[in-house]
Amino acid sequence: MVSKELAAAREYEEREGAKVSREERPAYHFSPRIGWLNDPNGLSFFEGKYHLFYQYHPYNSWWGPMYWGHAVSDDLISWEYLPAAMAPDTEYDGAGCFSGSAMILPDGRHLLMYTGCSPVGMDAEGRWRQTQCVATLETDENGSREYVKFAGNPVIADEELAEDGDIYEFRDPFIFTAKDGTYRAVVANGRRRDSESFSNSGAQLLMFRSNDAFSWEFEKVLFEDNRRIGVMWECPNFFFLDGVQVLIASPMDMQAEEANGSVRFPQGNNVCYILGIYNEDKEEFIPYKDNKGNYLYQPLDGGLDFYAPQVMKTPDGRMVMFGWMQDPSMGMLHEPDEFRIFGQMTIPRELSQKDGRLYQWPVRELEKYRKDLVEFSGVELGEEEISLPGISGRVLDIELEVKPKTVSFAGTCSLEEFDMRFAGNDEFHTEIRFRPDSSVITIDRKDSGQAENITRRRSIRVGSREGSISLRILLDRWSAEIFVNNGREVLSVTYYTPLEADRISFSAYGSAIMDAKAYTIEL
Q: What is the CATH number of the domain that holds 45?
A: 2.115.10.20
pLDDT the model gives residue 337: 60
Give how many domains the chain has, as a whole number: 2
Question: Which of 315, 345, 362 represents a domain boundary (last residue)?
Answer: 362
Domain co-membership, 131 together with 257: yes
Q: Is residue 331 helix, strand or coil?
A: helix
Domain span at 65: 4-362
**Higher pLDDT residue, 198 or 2?**
2
Domain co-membership, 495 together with 409: yes
pLDDT the model gives residue 453: 61
Domain co-membership, 378 together with 314: no
pLDDT the model gives residue 400: 98
Residue from 135, 76, 122 nearest 95 by CA? 122
Looking at residues 441-470, what average pLDDT do you find?
Answer: 85
Looking at residues 79-102, what average pLDDT do you find?
Answer: 98
* pLDDT band at residue 231 under the 50/70/90 scheme: confident
Looking at residues 86-109, what average pLDDT do you find?
Answer: 97
243: left (phi over 0), alpha (psi -120 to 50) or beta: left
Q: Are strands 341-342 and 35-46 parallel, antiparallel or unpaired?
A: parallel
Domain co-membership, 358 together with 478: no
Domain co-membership, 171 together with 275: yes
Please compute, for residue 72, the number of CA atoms within 13 A of its CA located in the half-sphere on the CB side. 10
Q: Is the whole model's pTM more than 0.85, yes or no?
A: yes
* pLDDT band at residue 412 under the 50/70/90 scheme: confident
The tens digit of pLDDT for each residue in 248-273 reads: 999 987 777 776 666 777 777 889 99
Domain co-membership, 384 together with 242: no
Q: Are strands 79-86 and 204-210 parallel, antiparallel or unpaired?
A: unpaired
Question: Which of 307, 336, 362 represents a domain boundary (last residue)?
Answer: 362
* pLDDT band at residue 195 under the 50/70/90 scheme: low
Domain co-membership, 251 together with 281: yes
Chain mean pLDDT for the chain: 92
pLDDT > 70 fraction of the chain, expressed in percent and rounded: 93
Active site (annotated) includes residue 39: yes
The tens digit of pLDDT for each residue in 28-86 reads: 999 999 999 999 999 999 999 999 999 999 999 889 999 999 999 999 999 999 999 99
Domain co-membership, 276 together with 406: no
Domain co-membership, 42 together with 184: yes
E strand segments, 58-143: 67-73, 79-86, 96-104, 110-118, 129-139
Domain co-membership, 274 together with 400: no
Question: Which of 323, 340, 362 represents a domain boundary (last residue)?
Answer: 362
All residues at 6 or more sequence positions from 418 whose CB lies less than 8 Å from its CB, including other chains: 381, 402, 433, 434, 436, 469, 506, 507, 508, 512, 514
Domain co-membership, 338 together with 372: no
Domain co-membership, 35 together with 115: yes
pLDDT the model gives residue 418: 97
The CATH number for 502's domain is: 2.60.120.560
The tens digit of pLDDT for each residue in 381-409 reads: 999 999 999 999 999 999 999 999 887 66
All residues at 6 or more sequence positions from 59 whose CB lies less than 8 Å from its CB, including other chains: 9, 12, 35
* pLDDT band at residue 329 under the 50/70/90 scheme: confident
